[in-house]
Amino acid sequence: MGTQMLGGGVDLSDMVHVPAGDFLFGFSGDEEARRRYELPPAVTLYVPEFWLDRTPVTFRQYKRFLEDTGHVPPLRSRAIGRDWLKKYEARH
């Protein structure tokens, strides 16, 4: 099997393809327990296909991915990422 590449030259050989499908999200057990622990009720969500790394991604690998692809991180993580990057660069 040859190496599959994602846009931006991202190598998929160390990744697992997760096919699209329905996903049960939330708590589907005893209703009394769900209310006691304030858990969300179970709902079925559709999740589009995606690729997942076989091993955890380091911050260094993620930073390189962002630089190599020009990908913009999710808005929610930008402030956290800036703080982390300042600390990381100060140590290295």
Residue 2 in this model has a pLDDT that exceeds 50: no
* Distance in angstroms (rounded) separating the CA atoms of residues 65 and 62: 5
Give the rounded distance of the alpha carbon of 43 from its chain centre: 21
For residue 68, the Cα-to-chain-centroid distance in whole angstroms is: 18
Residue 27 sits in which domain range? 1-54
User: Both 20 and 36 in a single domain?
Assistant: yes
Both 68 and 49 in a single domain? no
Based on the domain organization, do 83 and 41 belong to the same domain?
Answer: no
Residues 88 and 61 in one domain: yes
Do 49 and 64 reside in the same domain of the chain?
no
For 11-70, the pLDDT digits (tens) are 677 889 999 999 998 888 888 988 888 888 889 999 999 988 888 888 888 888 888 888
